[in-house]
Amino acid sequence: MLVLNLPPFDINVKKAGGKLSVFDPLRRKFVALTPEEWVRQHFINYLIVEKGYPRALMANEIQVNLNNQKKRCDSVVYDRELSPLVIVEYKSPDVEITQAVFDQIARYNIVLKVAYLIVSNGLKHYCCRMDYQSQTFNYLSDIPAYNEL
């Protein structure tokens, strides 16, 4: 797999039936190892190890109902009261982060109303803080540590 702009770590990959899978510590199971999943596992590790995000307050593949359609947020981080705080959207490293990607995560946020949106393709990462009072958002220069959220 591609080297990402994220810290390397000892990722748990196995091959079964000719297919690679990776252990997802948040879902507590092996899942298909796709390029997007490679990004997700590295980014989750980065948030936990480098930014102090509590593993117990993170979840992958969270379903939301949007206009009578079931959608899935790639990752959601919760505050200590278990309210959604951050939505993270992952893309494969060969997918450019465009306005359409931000539109996708913004649609999920119609339901969850989080304070932060993060998008990463493993090479580039973007984070913005929502300002609901002025109905705007501000891009941050770095991903904040959990205790800064």
Examine residue 90 and state whether it is found in any structural domain, yes or no.
yes
Q: What does the pLDDT read at residue 93?
A: 96
Q: What does the pLDDT read at residue 103?
A: 86
Examine residue 2 and state whether it is found in any structural domain, yes or no.
no
How many structural domains does the chain have?
1
Alpha-carbon dihedral of residues 72, 75, 80, 81, nearest 10 degrees?
Answer: -10
Examine residue 100 and state whether it is found in any structural domain, yes or no.
yes
* Domain of residue 84, CATH code: 3.90.1570.30
Examine residue 86 and state whether it is found in any structural domain, yes or no.
yes
Q: How far, in Å, CA of 122 to CA of 41, rounded?
A: 10
Examine residue 119 and state whether it is found in any structural domain, yes or no.
yes
pLDDT bucket at 63, cuts 50 / 70 / 90: very high
Q: How far are the Cα atoms of 2, 39, 46, 111, 148 from residue 5, in angstroms, in the given order? A: 10, 10, 10, 30, 22
* Selection from 10, 76, 79, 70 nearest residue 45 by Cα: 10
Examine residue 30 and state whether it is found in any structural domain, yes or no.
yes
Examine residue 1 and state whether it is found in any structural domain, yes or no.
no
Q: How far, in Å, CA of 127 to CA of 116, rounded?
A: 7
Examine residue 48 and state whether it is found in any structural domain, yes or no.
yes
Q: What does the pLDDT read at residue 95?
A: 95
The residue range of the domain holding 141 is 13-148
